[in-house]
Amino acid sequence: MAPPDPAAVRRRPARGGVRADERALAPDLARGLMLLLIVLSNTGFFLYTAEYGPTGWHPVDGSAVDRAVRFAMITALDLRVYPLFAFLFGYGMMRLYARQTAAGASGRAAVALLRRRSLWLLVFGGVHAALFLGGDILGVYGVVSLVLGALLLRRSDRALLFWAAAAYLPMCVAALTSVGDLSAAPGSTPLPEPSFTAYAAGAESALAAVGVRLTTWAFLVGFAVLGFPMYAAMLLGFWAARRRVLEEPHRHLRLLRRTAVAGVAIGWAGGLPAALAHSGLLDVPAAALGEDGLLGQVQSATGVPGGLGYAAVITLVAMRLPTRVRRSAPVRAVAATGARSLSCYLAHSALFSPVLAAWGLGLGAHLGSATVAAFAIGVWLLTVVAAAALDRAGRRGPAEALLRRLVYGRPAPTGPGAPG
């Protein structure tokens, strides 16, 4: 029998991905609920016949229910969900690195595995953008994880916290330097294009929509190199994963409680002025409302603590759930969704875009903020049911299975006749 090729052995991961018996409830529950928040956040991209205001992201017309839904979303969701996703993504990266090194892989080999995973996520994101959603976040997190994986994954805890603070500081500075927007003259700032134009929801041609989505995606991926909120949240995910904060919350109760209370309070307080201004209850110049304006910058700066607060709240709730509730069908189904977050995230777009966009069935032309939110909840529930069915069958999500195969390769042969 020929001896194994040493180079192939060095390239082979020390072990495969996370096993079902290694999964903890809190991270999967957080990812499952996060997907609901993400699909709700994406609804504004598809209301292409609505009237948009100074932000370009949310309509200003519609019923009282529409206005109430927008108020809640601007306060609690906008620029809060993506830092939550980044934190959980960073947490998962560090746990993957720890599992590999614990199984005998060198730090360099584990980083190489993560680099391969990030590159494949970039490919997944490009395909996702071409087919369905220009606002794809897989490519963004692929780029950010490439940078952080290469530079900071193996650094000390002190270095992680230092660079997280360094990444967070520019957002605070940007908010402070935007105070002058409050004195801008009326009409001095042109209204931005509504969000649906960059995401091609209003395009009649499916082929033309592909070009618009890919252009938007390429800009987002390129801009991700300067994505300071993502860096800060992901680095804090690295730090928390080393302490297994989500898997062992009983050891970190003080941290979790303080993060939950302070994070949610700061997050909502930072989103409230933008919600009041959008609703016409707070009179500010249009310059303060834009994405780069004062209120937008405040939303961005407070989004990181808001996202961390959500992660802490979900972890504390998961820890306090009675055993019978933890084992109940609804909780298990949401956790199964989180365990298959990549497949469910892609499924959302596959169910959203062809139904809502003008190049598809065009339903977005007939919906408002409230009805499209109800549609989004229905889409999320469909993926929850599908994830629960896959969980009962003992199967991974199709996207997870494909990514696992691409990252880890074929399982090493075992048994009689296997090399070595």
Has residue 420 got a pLDDT over 50? no
Q: Are 353 and 132 in contact (CB under 8 A)?
A: yes
Q: What is the Cα–Cα distance from 85 to 36, expressed in whole angstroms?
A: 12
CB 154 within 8 A of CB 225: no
User: How is the chain split into domains, by residue range?
Assistant: 31-408
Q: Which residues pair with 52 in a beta bridge?
A: 59
Query: For 73-90, how does the pLDDT look when each residue is reduced to its tens digit (9 = 90+)?
Result: 999 998 888 899 999 999
179 close to 260: Cβ distance less than 8 angstroms: no
Q: Is the pLDDT of residue 6 over 50?
A: no
Give the burial class of 383: count Cβ atoms within 10 A of its Cβ; 0-12 exposed, 13-18 middle, 19 or more buried.
buried
- What was the pLDDT predicted at 185? 56
Measured N-to-C along each axis, helices 294-320 and 228-242 cross at an angle, to the nearest 10 degrees, of 20
CA 405 – CA 411 distance, rounded (Å):
9
Higher pLDDT, 313 or 52: 313
pLDDT, position 198: 85
For 1, other C-beta atoms within 10 Å of its C-beta total 7
Within 8 A by CB and 6+ apart from 220, the residues are 134, 135, 136, 139, 140
At residue 26, the pLDDT reads: 84
- Structure tokens belonging to residue 69: 């839904």
pLDDT surpassing 80 at residue 413: no
Residue type, 244: R
pTM score: 0.88
Q: Name every residue whose Cβ is closer than 8 Å to that of residue 400 and which is 6 or more positions away in sequence.
A: 340, 342, 343
The string of pLDDT tens digits covering residues 196-246 is 888 888 999 999 999 999 999 999 898 877 766 789 999 999 999 999 999
Contact 406, 120 (CB under 8 A): yes
**Number of CB atoms found within 10 A of residue 185's CB:** 9
Asked if residue 375 has pLDDT above 80, the reply is yes
For 332, the 3-state DSSP assignment is: helix
pLDDT at 225 (0 to 100)? 76
Mean pLDDT (whole number) for 388-410: 93
Contact 396, 340 (CB under 8 A): yes
16 pLDDT above the threshold of 60: no
Q: CA–CA separation, 261 vs 212, rounded Å?
A: 41
d(CA 60, CA 412): 57
pLDDT (mean) for 93-111? 92
Distance CA 408, CA 398 (A): 15
